[in-house]
């Protein structure tokens, strides 16, 4: 038996016997008027994002997640996000499931390092600054190998909110003093469920309490009764349950050891 086979067997055993779920849900209804990142941009207040985050947290609770954390609007600063992320990463072990969800404005911003074909980085709009996809991936690279991660991005321009990097197995625990001790390689197994493609916008119906994406996700998940895999869930069954010509979601993967993960039931710790 080679090392890859040994790790795969260990990974399966961890999922079956010892796995736990931890989640972090971010909902940002409006942005700081004092943020230099948002100067000169027309970003209206939203009324569904906190509700979206609460519904995603409810999914995690129904699925038996051990810990569920939320950051709403004014609390959803970059500092608070990073501190909570570091706290959670220190608790994640191989086989665990981490659910990270975001609902709020998404932006396309100028790419400064030349790694985007379209010349734009994608970004989440936290309360006080935007969080570009390069930095999201840098955070995800702090998660150790063998952890499963689901990122749900209910925002505009969210189709590739992650970046793919090949990595190695070296890992150090991130701390508040040293938040990025690991190389910029995603070692965990990461699946992104995004509301739309990079050049498109997510949709909210007038007077709705939820965004279209979160509404359709909840309907398809159906209280945990859904039995398909992640890609079927997003690209087939969500589209069938609520067809919308403007709703074109995107499925994306990053990291390692995705073969088993991609076949599992959405948001289920043991499946």
Whether the Cβ atoms of residue 172 and residue 237 lie closer than 8 Å to each other: no
Q: Taking the CA of residue 214 as centre, how many other CA atoms within 13 Å lie in the half-sphere pointing to its CB? A: 28
Per the rule left: phi > 0, alpha: psi between -120 and 50, beta: everything else, 105 is: beta
Residues 6+ apart with CB under 8 A from 240: none
pLDDT of residue 188: 94
Q: Under DSSP, is residue 125 helix (H, G, I), strand (E, B) or coil? A: strand
pLDDT of residue 116: 47
Cα angle, residue 203 at apex, residues 123 and 155 outer, rounded to 5°: 20
Residues 6+ apart with CB under 8 A from 89: 142, 143, 173, 174
pLDDT digits (tens, 9 = 90+) for 83-107: 999 999 999 999 999 999 999 999 8
Strand-by-strand arrangement of the 120-125 sheet: 106-110, 120-125, 130-132
pLDDT of residue 164: 59
CA-nearest of 103, 91, 11, 94 to 59 is: 103
Other C-beta atoms closer than 10 Å to the C-beta of 236 total 13
Whether the Cβ atoms of residue 186 and residue 254 lie closer than 8 Å to each other: yes
CA-nearest of 239, 240, 264 to 253 is: 264
- Strands 148-154, 130-132: pairing is unpaired
CA distance 62 to 269: 11
Q: For every one of its 271 residues, what pLDDT tens digit does the chain have, with 9 covering 90 and above?
A: 565 666 555 555 554 557 999 999 999 999 999 999 999 888 999 999 999 999 999 999 999 999 999 999 999 999 999 999 999 999 999 999 999 999 999 987 765 554 545 556 889 999 999 999 989 999 999 999 999 999 999 998 776 777 655 555 678 899 999 999 988 789 999 999 998 877 777 788 888 999 999 999 999 999 999 999 999 999 888 877 666 655 688 899 999 889 999 999 999 999 7
Q: Which two tokens stand for residue 123?
A: 């970004």
């Amino acid at each position: 038996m080679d090392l890859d086979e040994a790790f795969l067997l260990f990974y399966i055993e961890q999922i079956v016997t010892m796995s736990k779920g931890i989640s972090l849900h971010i909902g940002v209804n409006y942005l700081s008027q004092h943020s230099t990142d948002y100067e000169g941009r027309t970003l209206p207040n939203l009324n569904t994002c906190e509700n979206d985050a609460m519904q995603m947290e409810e999914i995690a609770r129904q699925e038996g997640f051990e810990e569920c954390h939320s950051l709403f609007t004014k609390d959803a600063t970059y500092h608070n996000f990073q501190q909570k992320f570091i706290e959670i990463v220190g608790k994640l072990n191989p086989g665990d499931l981490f659910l990270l969800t975001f609902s709020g404005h998404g932006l396309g911003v100028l790419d400064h390092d030349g790694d985007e074909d379209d010349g734009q980085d994608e970004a989440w709009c936290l309360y006080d600054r935007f969080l570009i996809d390069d930095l999201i991936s840098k955070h995800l690279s702090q998660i150790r190998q063998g952890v499963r991660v689901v990122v749900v991005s209910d925002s505009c321009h969210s189709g590739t909110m992650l970046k793919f990097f090949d990595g190695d197995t070296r890992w150090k625990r991130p701390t508040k003093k040293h938040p990025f001790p690991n190389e910029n390689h995603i070692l965990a197994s990461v699946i992104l469920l995004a509301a739309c493609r990079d050049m498109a916008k997510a949709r909210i119906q007038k007077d709705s309490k939820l965004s279209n994406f979160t509404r359709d996700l909840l309907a398809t998940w159906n209280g945990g009764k859904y039995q398909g895999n992640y890609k079927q869930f997003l690209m087939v069954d969500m589209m069938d349950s609520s067809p919308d010509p403007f709703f074109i979601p995107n499925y994306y993967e990053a990291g390692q050891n995705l073969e088993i993960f991609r076949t599992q039931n959405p948001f289920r710790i043991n499946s």
